[in-house]
Amino acid sequence: VLRVYKAAVQQTLNILFLPEGREFLTSTDAVSRDSADRTIIAWDYQSAAKISNQIFHERYTCPSLTLHPKESMFVAQTNGNYMALFSAQRPYRINKKKRFEGHKVEGFAVGCEFSPDGTLLVTGSSDGKVFFYNYHTARIIRTLSAHKEACVSAIFHPVLPSLLATCDWAGEIKIWQ
């Protein structure tokens, strides 16, 4: 073990290194009835200090964080049935003009991911579907009925970007082309 970081909140749901590796983000389920301070925490890798815990102010947990492959942006999947877009540079501001809506999370830890070229954002849905969003417009461009159970993850193949893997709550994994 090189370093230990203590959030002093409830459980940590996800972790995401930012592009240069000097900082990383964690998402927690530290949400109260009225606010979500500490839901996403930015950390300094070297000192283990918290840089910010005031990144996301809505009352939803964020079970999944994913980094855009080409731009200095990241997306947080929220339990509010949308994905929020943030700057990956301090002060990590939310883009209030762009939200990716239409899929359902409903308490599942649903993952999301960008295509290797950054033009698509894909996510599962609690109704078993996979949603493909145009990154630039935030519009749904395709929906795929993938599973009978909640689709908790959809991920592009790193070398063959025309392949997509999905998995559901019951343990079924599918590869799509």
Domain ranges of the chain: 12-176
CATH ID of 12-176, from 2.130.10.10, 2.60.260.20, 3.90.45.10, 3.10.20.30? 2.130.10.10
The answer to whether residue 32 scores a pLDDT higher than 80 is: no
pLDDT surpasses 90 at 71: yes
pLDDT value at 45 more than 60: yes
Taking residues 124-150, what's their average pLDDT? 97
Cα dihedral sign for 98, 104, 109, 111? negative
Q: What pLDDT was estimated at residue 8?
A: 66
Task: Give the whole-angstrom CA distance, residue 65 versus residue 49.
Answer: 20
The pTM (predicted TM-score) of the whole model is: 0.91
Residue-by-residue DSSP string for 91-111: T--EEEEEEEES---TTS---
Q: Does 34 score more than 70 pLDDT?
A: no
Q: Give the integer Cα–Cα distance in Å for 14 and 47.
A: 20
pLDDT band at 110 (very low <50, low <70, confident <90, very high): very high
Question: Please, which pLDDT band fits residue 16 given cuts at 50, 70 and 90?
Answer: very high
Given a cut of 80, whether residue 35 has pLDDT beyond it is no
Rounded mean pLDDT, 82-111: 94
Q: Output the pLDDT for position 39.
A: 82
Q: Among residues 53, 62, 58, 60, which one has the least CA distance to residue 92?
A: 53
